[in-house]
Chain A
Amino acid sequence: MVAAAVLERPKVEMPQDHQKEIASRIEDWQQRISDLYAHIAECAEKHSELWLSENMTAKLFEKPMHDAGLEPVMLPVLNVGRGKGLIVSFQPIGLWVLGANGRMDILTHNGAYELIDEAEVGQPPNWQVFAPGSWEAKPFDHEVVERLLS
């Protein structure tokens, strides 16, 4: 349980409820990322030549965690490749994001997509994606995933 682990070493005096709230937000973010990766894996199933790997991690450590005396949490990165080549990498960037309820970057050889959750805190995710160089959000639907995996 990551949430329990991060509560072990508080740096500053914080109300326990506040720490729990922050830890709960982190757990929710981990769940949203896990569900997103499961969706990508499902879409990748019909492309037998693709491999998926979660061997790399990205660090989550933001101001609310710091202020609550919580330790950094490592989140899985999802890499998808074909043969020896990497074709796309899903990178968790942040949770307490100005303008969104979480941000992932999707790295490709054609630039980075910005993937954000537009949903309110505690609501089911509403993933929206910005293509490289674009300022217009589009739903992160099956068509986008297929394009990324092709």
Chain B
Amino acid sequence: MSPTFSELKDLYSELSDFLATQHMAAVQSKESGTAEICNQKKIHNDQAYFLYLFTRLEGRINEKVQKQKPELKEAHFMEKVRWIFPQNSQVETRTRKYLEKRNSIGHGGNFNQVISMRVVVPQIEHLFNSIKL
């Protein structure tokens, strides 16, 4: 049984708080190296949950297309988004940014890629729930 969005949000918060507690302890002890490691862990945890939730949205979009517009099955992801949300430039812009970030995180690199999870997660959840199969 896959966890619901609500369960995933709770799980994310639990882990995020745990990592923040570790980070606070490192700062309190003035351990700069440990504090930086804690920071990196938080960013990676954010990325992992972002990928998890975006993949859910991707799956929902693909499922709707497969059921209701099979000729778009092999189309680019953004073309499917445009079909589901016609003339909604805000959704298109937002989803394109998610897709770019998903790809960028997937390719990795020795730099940080930061997400505001408290902003992005409810947006993804709202999009997911608005797609009726």
Contacts and interface: CB of A to CB of B under 8 A. Distances in A.
Given A61-B112, A135-B118, A98 B98 contact: yes
B102 to A, nearest CB: 10
Interface residues of B, number: 37
B112 to A, nearest CB: 5
A58 B39 contact: yes
B32 A63 contact: no
Interface residues of A, number: 40
Nearest to A84: B28
Interface in A50-75: 55-63, 65-66
B17 A107 contact: no
B114 A111 contact: no
Contacts, number: 106
B17 A66 contact: no
B17 A111 contact: yes
Contact of A63 (B20, B28, B113): B113
B27 A114 contact: no
Given A93-B39, A100-B119, A107 B27 contact: yes
Given A63-B113, A107-B20, A112-B20, 4 more contacts: A99-B117, A116-B116, A134-B118, A135-B121
30 contacts: A56-B27, A56-B32, A58-B36, A59-B112, A61-B111, A63-B109, A63-B111, A66-B109, A77-B27, A85-B28, A86-B28, A89-B24, A91-B23, A91-B27, A93-B114, A97-B114, A97-B116, A98-B50, A98-B97, A98-B114, A98-B115, A99-B117, A111-B17, A112-B24, A114-B116, A114-B117, A116-B116, A116-B118, A135-B9, A135-B122
Interface of B: 9, 13, 16-17, 20-21, 23-24, 27-28, 30, 32, 35-36, 39, 42-43, 50, 97-98, 101, 104, 109-123
